[in-house]
Chains A and B, each alone.
Chain A
Amino acid sequence: MTDRALAVVRAGALTTVQDRGRPGHAHLGVPRSGALDAPAAALVLRLVGCPPDAAVLETTLTGCALRPRCAVAVAVGGAPCPVTVDGRPVPWGAPVGVPAGALLNVGAADSGVRSYVAVSGGILVEPVLGSRSTDLLSGLGPPPLADGVVLPLGRPRGRHARVDVAPQPAPPSELVLRVTPGPRADWFTPEAVRTFTSRAYRVSSASNRIGLRVDGPALQRARSGELPSEGMVLGAVQVPPDGRPVVFLADHPTTGGYPVIGVVRTADLPAAAQAAPGTPVRFVAVRRR
């Protein structure tokens, strides 16, 4: 392997390679996948001079530690966290030079869930169906990072940005998700639809890249019986038999058999990616555009 590589010293709780995902294959059962907080991933790529389709690392709560084998520019964004190079604090949300062999530590999130680490040249693992994203539902793309793994890096094509700090939205203290009525809203009682868009929910610790699960009042169905499997969109709010809504995120299955009561606006999903377990959630009914 060339020296354009990155050794994983500490993989953290769950760190995956992500890019913009692999849309266009849902009819074969292939999830879209891709960075859950796509604006944060796009920003750190821009900060290190990578094109928008390059791959970053997405951490979960506990960060990760990396040792590049060559001098690189690095930017960390998304969930705010302490960042150090060989133990010395360096800025978060800005391009930072890391010498060859130095230890970059991306600390645990101070708030939010997922930090994004872009490295000049981009993470150059082998693409699958045009994407380098790890897909946790179907196992496509590279496996989640493990200690000791070495990731190849591309050659830098652009210069890193000259900024001191890039503004980023703070992780939500309350997650407000705008929802339009789902295709199967009529499978629920009017009371359940009112409950869904008026009562308080909380982010459940069972949330993952497949879905944002929430705790709160169960939603009663008006119709019993099975719904034949049908196509699912990003942001679909599916309600399984326990009545607790699940918001489908990037690694969601492409078809499903539970009724969809509502659909969350795509623009609101990056905040959902940063809502830690316990965060209050409100679903606010909006009209279709």
Chain B
Amino acid sequence: MNVLPVGDDALLVEVSSGEEAEALHADLLRRRAEGTLVAREIVPAARTVLLDGLADPARPASELAAADVPPAAPRAGRVVEIPVRYDGPDLADVAAHWGVAEDEVGRVHAGTEFHVAFCGFAPGFGYLTGLPARYDVPRRDTPRTAVPAGSVALAGPYTGVYPRSSPGGWQLIGSTDAVLWDHTRVPAALLSPGTRVRFVPRGPRCGHQGGP
């Protein structure tokens, strides 16, 4: 574990894999709940966990540098099901990257159990992992200026769902009506780090809504 100081009251803890980052995140949350770690923010990411707002960064820094990350407990808790139509504009490109037929993309994607490795980019945007490495895809060469809310997308090893319309460079394979973020709801975010997720295929959108 590599512990990097960030300013005067934060630490960036770097580990060697996404799985280790998730295990470390779970362990740090446990320590905070126990009261042995006081941190305003604990932010997991791809290979790191940021601890921000530390009263005394020197202590966790030395503790973490000496510690091993305990292996993550098996994922428990309910599985969030996200209905999806596999109708994205990049479906053909993704199928070509994967070397499969177009309709196979949805079958592989919906047959995978995902979980949220970390969040970021926008409130409610989760970086979901679960697809084997052979299904990694590059970002689009030219990002779109507006990706519609509810777009189900792939980039690198991750799947994500855009909570609201925003610019984005991920490959769009489908769409969902699921509400990823609603600040009037508790919790506001449908997905938070660790949440298990399954995508459930739906038929194409009915063309008769809203008039002729």
**Interface on chain B toward A: helix, strand, loop, or mixed SS?**
strand
Which of A23-31, A66-74, A209-217 participates in binding chain B?
Answer: A23-31
Interfacial residues of chain A within 226-272, with CB under 8 A of chain B in the complex: 228-233, 235-236, 253-255, 260, 263-266
Contact B119 A27 (CB under 8 A): yes
Bitwise interface map of B from 4 to 24 toward A, beta carbon under 8 Å scored 1, else 0: 111110101000000000000
**Shortest beta-carbon distance, B16 to chain A, in Å?**
11
User: Which chain A residues border B8 with CB–CB below 8 Å?
Assistant: 180, 263, 265-266, 288-289
Contact with B along A124-143 (1 / 0, CB 8 A): 00001100000000111000
In the complex, the answer to whether A128 meets B122 with C-beta atoms within 8 Å is no
A29/B121 in contact, CB under 8 A = yes
Q: CA of A27 to CA of B187 in the docked complex: distance in angstroms?
A: 13
Tell me which of B5, B46, B189 contacts A230 (CB under 8 A).
Answer: B46
Give the number of A-B contacts (CB < 8 Å).
108
B170 at interface, CB cutoff 8 A: no
- Which residues of chain A come closer than 8 Å to B43, judged between CB atoms? 26-27, 231, 254-255
Q: Cβ of B42 < 8 Å from any Cβ of A? A: yes
| Cα distance, A129 to B6, chains bound together (Å) | 26
Asked if A229 contacts B45 (CB within 8 A), the reply is yes
Assembly CA distance A23 to B53 (angstroms) = 10
In the bound complex, do residue B41 and residue A26 qualify as a contact, i.e. CB atoms below 8 Å apart?
yes
| A:177-202 near B, CB below 8 Å | 180-183
**Interface status of B114 (Cβ within 8 A of chain A):** no
User: Complex Cα distance A228/B117, Å?
Assistant: 13
Contact at A231–B50, with CB atoms within 8 Å? yes
Contacting A at CB under 8 A, from B116-156, are 118-125, 127
Cross-chain contact of B120 among A128, A129, A253, A288 (Cβ < 8 A) = A253
* CA of A139 to CA of B50, assembled, Å: 24
CA distance A231 to B14 in the complex (A): 11
- Cα-based distance from A23 to B9 in the complex (angstroms): 15
**Chain A contacts for B119, CB-based, 8 A:** 27-29, 254-255
Q: A27-B193, A265-B8 are in contact. Are A231 and B45 (CB under 8 A)?
A: yes
- Distance of A120 Cα from B149 Cα, bound (Å): 39
Contact between A231 and B48, CB atoms less than 8 A apart: yes
Contact A233 B183 (CB under 8 A): no
With A233-B50, A253-B120, A263-B7 already in contact, 18 other A-B pairs whose C-beta atoms are closer than 8 Å: A27-B43, A27-B44, A27-B118, A28-B189, A29-B122, A29-B123, A228-B48, A229-B46, A229-B120, A230-B50, A231-B43, A231-B44, A231-B49, A233-B7, A233-B10, A233-B52, A263-B8, A265-B8
A-B contact list, 27 entries, CB within 8 Å: A27-B41, A27-B44, A28-B124, A28-B189, A29-B120, A29-B122, A29-B125, A129-B183, A129-B188, A180-B8, A183-B6, A228-B48, A229-B118, A229-B120, A229-B127, A230-B12, A230-B48, A231-B12, A231-B43, A231-B48, A233-B7, A233-B50, A235-B7, A236-B6, A255-B118, A255-B120, A288-B5
